[in-house]
A = this chain, B = another copy of it.
């Protein structure tokens, strides 16, 4: 595969690699998202393995290609498994991606997320509030500000990316992806996605699969995954969120090159 570029052609090429390699993605995720996340990975061509227990997460990373950690329905019993799995991924040189669900909502949650962030994920994806909370809780801001402008969140994301040497993605009407210097903008998807639970969780899992197949360029791999998921959700005349969820998964399974490349909306900021 050629070096990635911020184009639909490149997104397609990477997706085809995911489909042909079918990487095994170990997911430690919340209870709400498990079904939809596993089906998202399967539809898009990757292979999910949900395993969270401290007694086997390290062994599982040996056979997996990457790790997704999502802290949605957090508890101390699960935190151990998340940390051990992330350490195993790092030791084995495999990418791992963090979804800091609800960062800032409670002290327990924020502290747990900070301890995971300090293990230096390859990619962090959240909404503007969550990314600001992650940055703030790490000592760089005063806390969550859900009324902040996207551009305000972006500065925190850039600083976080620089400090950790990772990629930070902010989801929104337009997604922003940064390595601390460059910023890629992804303007795909539809507002109705916010009415489907775990849509954000699932796209983070898809990011994990894409990054896993393009380890040398996690910024563009993240942008490509966001674009693919977004285009799959751009369904006309859909009746409501449950129909959209069905069509989104079907589209991830069946989408062809022309549909993807003619709808992808990717730009450098």
Find A53's partner among B51, B108, B196 (CB 8 Å cutoff).
B108
0/1 interface trace, chain A 62-95, chain B, CB 8 Å (1 if under): 0100000000111111000000000000000000
Whole-angstrom distance between the Cβ of A89 and the nearest chain B Cβ: 15
Knowing A73-B52, A242-B245, A246-B243, say if A38 contacts B32 (CB, 8 Å): yes
Docked Cα-Cα span, A48 to B195, in Å, equals 10
The answer to whether A102 and B49 touch (CB under 8 A), given A31-B34, A108-B59, A246-B246, is yes
Give A237-252 interface residues, CB cut-off 8 Å to B: 239-243, 245-252
Q: Does A151 contact B (CB under 8 A)?
A: no
Question: A55: which of B76, B197, B242 is its contact (CB, 8 Å)?
Answer: B76
Chain A 100-115 interface residues, beta-carbon cutoff 8 Å to B: 102, 105-109
Which chain B residues lie closer than 8 Å to A74 at the CB level?
A: 51, 53, 56
**Does chain B have a CB within 8 A of A30?**
yes
- Distance A197 CA – B74 CA, assembled complex (angstroms): 23
User: Which chain A residues (2-28) contact chain B, with CB distance < 8 Å?
Assistant: none
A50 touches B72 (CB 8 A): yes
Number of copies of this kind of chain in the complex: 3
Q: What chain B residues lie within 8 Å of A155 (beta carbons)?
A: none
Kindly state the separation between the CA atoms of A102 and B31 in the bound complex, as whole angstroms.
Answer: 19
Taking CB atoms and an 8 Å cut-off, the chain A residues in 172-212 that contact chain B are 194-198
CA distance A38 to B199 in the complex (A): 12
B198 touches A35 (CB 8 A): yes
Q: Tell me whether B56 and A106 are in contact (CB under 8 A).
A: yes
Choice from B34, B75, B239 contacting A52 with Cβ under 8 Å: B75
Answer whether A242 and B39 are a contact pair too, CB < 8 Å, given A50-B72, A105-B60, A108-B56.
Answer: yes
User: Considering the chains assembled together, what is the distance between the CA atoms of A206 and B31 in angstroms?
Assistant: 20
B240 pairs with A105, CB closer than 8 A:
no
Q: Which partner residue on chain B sits nearest A109 by CB separation? A: B56
Distance of A240 Cα from B254 Cα, bound (Å): 7
Of the candidates B48, B72, B239, B240, which one forms a contact with A197 in the assembled complex, judged by CB atoms under 8 Å apart? Answer: B48
CB distance from A137 to the nearest CB of B (A): 14
In the bound complex, residues from chain B placing their C-beta under 8 Å from that of A38 are 32, 197-198
Chain B residue numbers with a CB within 8 Å of A56 are 74, 105-109
A-B contact pairs, 19 of them (CB 8 A): A31-B34, A31-B50, A33-B35, A35-B35, A35-B198, A38-B198, A42-B194, A50-B72, A51-B74, A51-B105, A53-B74, A53-B76, A59-B107, A60-B105, A75-B77, A77-B77, A239-B250, A240-B252, A242-B245
